[in-house]
């Protein structure tokens, strides 16, 4: 479950709640595309902005709509107590694994981060993916901290931030050296994913894959065939899209792309988050058409 393409879909949400029909449709689409796993309620899935009730609902519906595809459910929250509640709800929903980012408001110490993972893994019976994403959590994981956490029971994988192609081999080897062999390493930062996979990562935790699974699978499969030329070409041709991810944030870009495909209504992000402005939206639409990703 913790290798290959893990696709992270949106949870279309406006001020009235989750667009339930659209959410189920996005999940079913990924299951049909044969991704290795589905990451529901990741950062792209807006977990941080949803209530416990909404998250429990989304976990149940994702598992139901995913069929035999394993579903990894995000359980992060600012308080340990809330994380435990979300973990219990995810397990009850039939999630195959949980994904935990150490959300923070007050900056956390390493001991506080470790304590969170220790408490959660002690109460959980399904595997946990450590979600290292300093861009949203503002927690910086040292390799020493990764090693301590990965040695806890029930740790299945580590989702690391994007790493430049030239540095990927060394980065992944360094991390691999401090974690148990059964814990896999997955990359994120879609524009760097091909390099990460070619550098030895087991999985790609992918925003692109949540809406364009075929394009992400093409890259993933080329890396699995160790066809580095094909992998790099498949990634490089998406450069105009990666540029938009970096300029506007991958969440806002995927939100607008899903609208373009007619899969979600507008708006579909919870305020204060705003969709792309009209100029950026035109730019995205032209880019999708050019890449053959249009409606």
**Residues in touch with a copy of itself (CB under 8 A):** 15, 43, 48-49, 78-81, 102-103, 105-109, 111-113, 115-116, 119, 135-136, 138, 249, 251, 270-274
Instruction: Dig out the tokens for 245 from the structure.
Output: 């991810």
Active site annotation includes 53: no
- Shortest approach of a copy of itself to residue 123 CB, angstroms? 13
Of the candidates 47, 49, 105, 159, the residue annotated as catalytic is 159
Of the candidates 49, 105, 117, 131, the residue annotated as catalytic is 131
- Shortest approach of a copy of itself to residue 79 CB, angstroms? 5
Q: Where are the beta strands (DSSP E) in the chain?
A: 4-7, 13-14, 17-18, 37-40, 71-74, 97-100, 128-131, 155-160, 184-187, 203-206
Contacts of range 176-183, beta carbons closer than 8 Å, 24 or more positions apart: 176/200, 178/143, 178/144, 178/146, 178/147, 178/150, 179/146, 179/147, 179/150, 179/151, 180/150, 180/151, 180/155, 182/156, 183/150, 183/155, 183/156, 183/157, 183/158
CB contact at 8 A, 40 and 72: yes
Phi and psi (nearest 5°) for 4?
80, -155
Q: How many CB atoms lie within 10 A of CB 181?
A: 6
Residue among 35 and 77 whose Cβ is closer to a copy of itself: 77
How far is the C-alpha of 295 from the C-alpha of 287, rounded, in Å?
Answer: 12
- Nearest by Cα to 7 from 268, 273, 254: 254
- Shortest approach of a copy of itself to residue 59 CB, angstroms? 19
- Shortest approach of a copy of itself to residue 17 CB, angstroms? 10
Residue among 103 and 193 whose Cβ is closer to a copy of itself: 103
DSSP 8-class letter at 71: E
Is 44 assigned a ligand-binding role in the annotation?
yes
- Shortest approach of a copy of itself to residue 203 CB, angstroms? 23
Active site annotation includes 159: yes
Residue among 50 and 234 whose Cβ is closer to a copy of itself: 50
Residue among 110 and 233 whose Cβ is closer to a copy of itself: 110
Residue among 78 and 173 whose Cβ is closer to a copy of itself: 78
* Residues recognised as catalytic: 131, 159
- Binding positions are 44
- Binding positions for pyruvate are 44
């Amino acid at each position: 479950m913790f290798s290959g393409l893990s696709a992270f879909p949106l949870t279309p949400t406006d001020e009235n709640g989750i667009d339930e029909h659209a959410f189920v449709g996005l999940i079913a689409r990924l299951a049909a595309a044969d991704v290795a796993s589905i990451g529901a309620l990741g950062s792209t899935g807006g977990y941080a902005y949803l209530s416990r009730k909404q998250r429990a609902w989304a976990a149940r519906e994702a598992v139901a709509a995913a069929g035999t595809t394993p579903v990894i459910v995000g359980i992060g929250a600012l308080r340990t107590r809330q994380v435990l509640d979300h973990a219990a709800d995810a397990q009850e929903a039939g999630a195959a694994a949980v994904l935990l980012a150490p959300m923070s408001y007050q900056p956390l110490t390493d001991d506080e981060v470790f304590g969170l993972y220790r408490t959660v893994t002690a109460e959980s019976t399904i595997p946990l993916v450590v979600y290292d994403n300093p861009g949203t959590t503002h927690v910086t994981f040292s390799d020493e901290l990764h090693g301590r956490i990965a040695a806890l029971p029930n740790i299945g994988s580590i989702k690391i931030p994007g790493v430049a192609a030239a540095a990927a081999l060394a980065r992944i080897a360094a991390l691999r050296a401090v974690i148990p062999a059964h814990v896999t390493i997955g990359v994120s930062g879609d524009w760097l994913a091909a390099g990460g996979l070619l550098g030895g990562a087991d999985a790609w935790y992918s925003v692109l894959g949540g809406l364009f699974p075929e394009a992400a699978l093409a890259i993933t499969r080329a890396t699995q065939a160790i066809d580095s030329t094909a992998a790099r070409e498949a990634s490089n041709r998406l450069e105009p899209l990666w540029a938009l991810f970096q300029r506007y944030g991958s969440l806002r870009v995927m939100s607008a792309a899903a609208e373009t495909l007619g899969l979600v209504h507008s708006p579909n992000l919870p305020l204060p988050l705003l969709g792309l402005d009209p100029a950026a939206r035109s730019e995205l639409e032209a880019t999708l058409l050019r890449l053959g990703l249009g409606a």
